[in-house]
Amino acid sequence: MPAIDTKPTAAPMATVYLQFEDQVAQLDRQIEDLRKQDQSLQGPNAAEIRRLQKEQTKLLQELYSNLSAWQTVQVSRHPQRPLLNDYLSLLFKDIRHLHGDRNFGDDKAIVTALGQIGREKVMIIGHNKGKDIKEKIACNFGCANPEGYRKALAKMKLAEKFGLPIITLIDTPGAYPGIGAEERGQSQAIAVNLMEMSRLRVPIICVVIGEGGSGGALGIGVGDRLAMLQYSYYSVISPEGCAAILWHDGSQAPRAAEALKLTAKDLQNLKLIDTVIAEPLGGAHRNVHDTIYNVEQFLLKSLAELKRIKIDALMEKRYQKIRSFGSGCVEISRLKPKTTDISIPKKLSAKAEIEQAEETPVETPVES
């Protein structure tokens, strides 16, 4: 008689709803209540469940076809969005992890590995955010140190030596801003990566799968193809950081997000990215397998295209691509009037601040 497995199975994680999804959450609760009352698909509640499901689908289509920039940022940070480890387990085969920068240490915020996609052997480099609190703290919530970028470059050089295409999966709010990181040359490590990646003699494909923040994303973001998932973002700075600098108020992040033009659609219009990879209805967190399948199809197609190009021609195309950055911004600025009001407060000189303080009347309390 076969042994009975008494190990408890993990319950499916409850769906986390974003602030703008209140109506969707209400419909889901109604559907769940009806299902608890009637387990049969042909029971008395079946028709009502189907009606609510159609209503939910229509609502999700309306919401996700008109997301604001700030709502897109919220979706890209969803706690149930697929992370690097999901891609490693579902997208690639024969994973062999590589560690260390041969200089300082092994940064857990950047993962490097050999793997296979389809029939192609590739070098995989990506940001690791971690699943639980312990993992998140260990990898600084996906914010890499200089040794992470040096590790990535060392593995890219290894891939170049053996003629392996490079795939990078970007998902970081930015490079780690700690004192130790700055002391060990954070900006230099990122700058060296930008220079070296631009001239690696193998195909490079970069995909933003979640957050693409600042130099932390750029450090592994130079390549022949740059794609973004539909509800990811890619920006010179996070919306909160931008708001803190311009208005000294982090609550202005939604306003900053609109001004930064950080969504996949905006960046494709500006000719800064090549492709927008579609996500399932309601975002990648609602259907992880379909999301990863869409990424896989893009990668296989891009690898086939790039491998047909002779390496010298590929290098020239990459050079021209990098040189053309910003041309789309110039064209659009000539066609469209400036409508975004940044309203940056003017910084007064020390003398002007003193004069302003002297002219400001001082209110004295009135005794009752």
Q: How many CB atoms lie within 10 A of CB 310?
A: 8
Q: Report phi then psi at 173, rounded to 5.
A: -75, -15
Instruction: Report residue 173 as tokens.
Output: 């709010």
Lowest pLDDT segment from 211-215, 284-288, 330-334: 330-334
Q: Is the pLDDT of residue 347 over 70?
A: no
Per-residue pLDDT at 11 exceeds 60: no
For 54-97, how does the pLDDT look when each residue is reduced to its tens digit (9 = 90+)?
988 999 999 998 899 999 999 999 999 999 999 999 999 999 99
**d(C-alpha 207, C-alpha 171), whole Å:** 9
SS3 for 272-340, per residue? CCCEEECCCCCCHHHCHHHHHHHHHHHHHHHHHHHHCCCHHHHHHHHHHHHHCCCHHHHHHHHHCCCCC
Domain spanning 74-234+262-297: which CATH class is it, in words? alpha beta
- pLDDT tier, 349 (very low <50, low <70, confident <90, very high otherwise): low
Q: Structural domain boundaries of the chain?
A: 74-234+262-297
> pLDDT by residue (tens digit) across 249-296?
888 999 999 999 999 999 999 999 999 999 999 999 999 999 999 999
- For residue 345, the number of C-alpha atoms closer than 13 Å in the C-beta half-sphere is 10
